[in-house]
Amino acid sequence: MTGTPEYTEAICQHCEGAGCVYCDKKGKVLVKSPARKCRHCGGECCIYCGYTGWEDVKGKYD
Ligand SMILES: [Zn+2]
Ligand SMILES: [Zn+2]
């Protein structure tokens, strides 16, 4: 086992860093490293990525 996964900051694709409800107004979200675009929407934002555009977003689903 490798222990806890590493997370990295990624610019929220919904607001492109401006801050919105999906990223808690930070403009960034923590995603599992290496950051990958959501496989469902390719970064266009959908329910699977919590509208952040990223795969494996930390937080809401933990
Ligand atoms: Zn945002
Ligand atoms: Zn998505």
The residue ranges of every structural domain in the chain are 7-49
State the CB neighbour count (10 A cutoff) for residue 55.
Answer: 19
pLDDT of residue 59: 74
pLDDT at 4: 78
Distance 13 CA to ligand 2 centre (A): 10
pTM reported for the whole predicted model: 0.85
The alpha carbon of 1 and the centre of ligand 2 are apart by a number of angstroms equal to: 28
Question: Which residues are registered as beta bridge partners of 9?
Answer: 30
Distance in angstroms (rounded) separating the CA atoms of residues 17 and 9: 11
Tens digits of per-residue pLDDT, 27-61? 999 999 999 999 999 999 999 999 999 999 997 54
Give residue 16 CA to ligand 1 midpoint distance, Å: 6
